[in-house]
Amino acid sequence: MPAILESENIFTQIPPLDEIQEGEVFYMSEEEYLELVEKHEGRFQYENGKVILMPYAQKNHNIVEANIIGELYIALQASPLIVSTNETLIYVPAFDLYANPDVVVFQEPTEYRERKKGIQALLNPVCIIEILSPSTARYDRSKKLQMYQSIPSLQQYVMISQEEVQVETLTKNKEREWVYRFAFEADQSISILDHPIPLSKMYAKVQFEKANTTTT
């Protein structure tokens, strides 16, 4: 555990990245968090003063993420929607949350929160996609789901497992109700922003350790 100076639950000294453990929780102000984002590599989530270093992505996570970005890029080429990576920082005002979803889809005009020059946090994503890992799956399906659903512009939240063929979507309908969909077979498709995408393409070249199989 790194030695960090603490004053009234706000850390006043930012530790070196190699001294911070994945999943370690510590506290700082919004200004200190933005300084951390500016100076350090890694993905840090901020929620109302609580900061967590998010786990580094594993091989399957990266393959699924690349697959879904590629499929969405093709599917959305003729639309005004823009597909972005986990480099996109978003801000959720209702929960004072800064986060880097795995995939974000948005459109112009974009709205940003900029509390530090050069660091913009997107306020109006249209679709958020998270690749679920064993350490984050429960959180992504519960607390993070609740936080994301508070975003007025959000039309869809997609959760994709990296451990097995399993995709879940929550889509806001015309009545502003959230409709749940679930798919778990490689020959199934699931719609993301009204574009059906086969699960076989989402999981192309992914190897699952338990079954020792590859999805092609």
0.85 exceeded by pTM: yes
24-38, 70-84, 144-158: range with lowest mean pLDDT: 24-38
Query: pLDDT, tens digit, for every residue of 130-179?
Result: 999 888 899 999 999 999 999 999 999 999 999 999 999 999 999 999 99
Residues of the chain with CATH 3.90.1570.10: 59-211
Query: pLDDT, tens digit, for every residue of 84-126?
Result: 999 999 999 999 999 999 999 999 999 999 999 889 999 999 9
Distances (CA, A) of 166 to 64, 193, 202, 208: 12, 18, 10, 12
The Cα 37–Cα 31 span in angstroms is 10
The Cα 79–Cα 142 span in angstroms is 31
Does the domain at 59-211 match CATH 3.90.1570.10? Answer given as: yes
